[in-house]
Amino acid sequence: MPVEIVLGLVTDALKVALLISAPMLLTALVVGIVISLFQSVTQIQEMTLTFIPKILATFLALVIALPWMIQTLMDYFDRLFGAIPGLLH
């Protein structure tokens, strides 16, 4: 198999992985920044204060984005499995 084909497959896999993980990562980032600003304003320096809201927000983002994530993965695997006969020449 040529190197270009392998690089294309790896690139597509990384793009899909980044796309699928983006909703949870961005949610955790935004919640973390908001909580950090709240801690700065109120001068509350409790380290455990950030964990529970981040976990809950990330779980909520997962529940909301799960149908889209599954559909994105199914589309990727359909493309990948459909391309297998063309890769085996």
Of the chain, the percentage scoring pLDDT greater than 90 comes to 63
Query: What does the alpha-carbon distance between residue 13 and residue 88 come to, in Å, rounded to a whole number?
Result: 19
Domain residue ranges of the chain, discontinuous segments joined by +: 3-84
Enter the pTM of the model. 0.80
Of the pLDDT bands very low, low, confident and very high (cuts 50, 70, 90), residue 86 is confident
The residue with greater pLDDT, 54 or 47, is 54
Whether residue 5 is predicted with pLDDT greater than 90 in this model: the reply is no
pLDDT for position 57 = 96
Q: Which of 46, 23, 22, 24 is nearest to 35 (CA)?
A: 46
